[in-house]
Structures are given as structure tokens and as C-alpha cells.
């Protein structure tokens, strides 16, 4: 297996951090692809389309290397939820989750810039919430940790106190399903054990 340049088509610090845990030496190249949450697609179709759009946009700018595009949404009662538009929107989302189950979908797309080979995949995780009081939700929102997170929460931060259990990949809820990505990297001939520790190339582009 050859050692290839890995390019992350994302500005998300959480995804950068999780890529580091995999031992990948990667470059960060933000995608200019614009998501359209109004499109009528089921959750699986939506995240796969968005992750492909991100990866394709970045792959066009490189002659070699493997681009990884990931997109994550929360789904509740059949409705696709992205990032809250305001604190009020975040409160509404979290209030609706109280004592209930919702789903986190992530689309994963890998593109080999040299060969054009493309892999599209997805991951889904069930997230079970405890019953939350209005005061708990407001206190959490006041921390600001809900911002820039699909569904208005992050399983890795303070909102973890609201989550009773999950069924599926923990890292998927964080927006970077590690096993899924590793599995698909190997299909493109990548041996992650050949990589040295992350060097931070491209971090100035964020």
C-alpha cells in the first residue's frame, strides 16, 4: 500500500482532531460547496450528496492525494436538522429531543484525485436523550457550546450529560465516523500505519 497525501475538505476543529487520532498526516482545504437543506431527500441521500459535493469541489483543485468529505445531520421524527440558526432555534431542537430518540447521519466520501476513484458511504447512530428541563437547556445554551453543531449539541461536550445512551458509532455523533473512514481508506490502498504524527499542514487556511 502506498503512502498518499490526505486532504480534509472541512474546517471543523472536531474533525481535524479525530483525524489526528487516526494518525493521519493531512492537509486542510476547506470546500466552497454550499449545502441546500431544502432539497427533498431522505437523510441517507442528503448526507451522501453533501459529502460528495464537498469532496468533489476540493478534488478538482488537486492532481493527487485522497480527499475526505464528511457531512453530518441530525434527524428527528423524519425531519432533517442541520445547525441551529439561533439560540432560540437551538432551544426548540433540544426541547423536542427531551426524553426521546433521534438519529445522527454522516455521509462519507473519499476521492482519489489521481485516478478519480470515488467511494460514497454513510453511517447512522441512534441517540437517546434524558428528559431535560427548560432550565437545563437554557443553561447549556448559555455556555455557547451548542453553536456550529448539528442538532444544537455535541456528545463530546457538556451536553453529554443529557445523553442516556447511543446505539452505533460514537465518533459518528461527533461528525467523523472513524471506522467507516478507515475502512474506506483501505479500499483506496491507504495504510494509515505508514503515517507519522500529524504535522499541521494547512491549519493556517482555516
List the catalytic residues.
71
Residues of 127-145 as b/e, b for ≥16 C-beta within 10 angstroms? bebeebeeebbeebbeeeb
| Element holding 112 (H helix, E strand) | strand 101-112
How far is CA 117 from each of CA 111, 146, 180, 183, 185, rounded to the nearest angstrom?
6, 36, 17, 15, 12
How do beta strands 118-129 and 101-112 pair? antiparallel
Phi and psi for 31 in degrees, rounded to 5?
Answer: -90, 145
DSSP state for residue 161 in the 8-state scheme: G
Residue 37's CB: how many other CB atoms inside 10 A? 12
Q: How far apart are CA 137 and CA 92, in angstroms?
A: 9
CA-nearest of 95, 77, 79, 89 to 37 is: 79
Question: Per DSSP, what are the bridge partners of residue 131?
Answer: none
Amino acid at each position: 500500500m502506498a503512502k498518499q497525501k490526505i486532504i480534509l475538505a472541512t474546517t471543523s476543529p472536531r474533525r481535524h482532531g479525530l483525524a489526528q487520532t487516526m494518525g493521519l498526516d493531512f492537509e486542510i482545504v476547506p470546500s466552497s460547496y454550499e449545502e441546500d437543506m431544502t432539497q427533498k431527500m431522505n437523510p441517507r441521500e442528503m448526507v451522501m450528496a453533501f459529502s460528495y459535493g464537498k469532496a468533489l469541489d476540493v478534488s478538482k483543485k488537486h492532481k493527487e492525494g485522497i480527499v475526505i468529505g464528511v457531512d453530518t445531520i441530525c434527524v428527528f421524527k423524519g425531519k432533517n436538522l442541520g445547525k441551529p440558526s439561533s439560540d432560540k432555534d437551538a432551544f426548540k431542537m433540544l426541547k423536542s429531543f427531551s426524553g426521546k430518540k433521534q438519529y445522527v447521519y454522516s455521509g462519507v466520501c473519499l476521492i482519489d484525485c489521481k485516478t478519480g476513484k470515488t467511494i460514497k458511504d454513510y453511517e447512522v447512530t441512534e441517540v437517546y436523550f434524558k428528559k431535560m428541563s427548560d432550565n437545563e437547556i437554557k443553561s447549556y445554551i448559555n455556555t455557547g457550546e451548542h453553536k456550529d453543531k448539528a442538532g444544537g449539541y455535541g456528545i463530546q461536550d457538556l451536553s453529554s450529560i443529557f445523553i442516556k445512551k447511543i446505539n452505533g458509532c460514537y465518533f459518528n455523533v461527533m461528525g467523523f465516523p472513524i471506522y467507516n473512514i478507515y475502512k474506506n481508506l483501505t479500499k483506496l490502498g491507504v495504510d494509515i500505519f505508514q503515517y507519522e504524527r500529524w504535522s499541521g499542514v494547512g491549519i493556517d487556511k482555516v
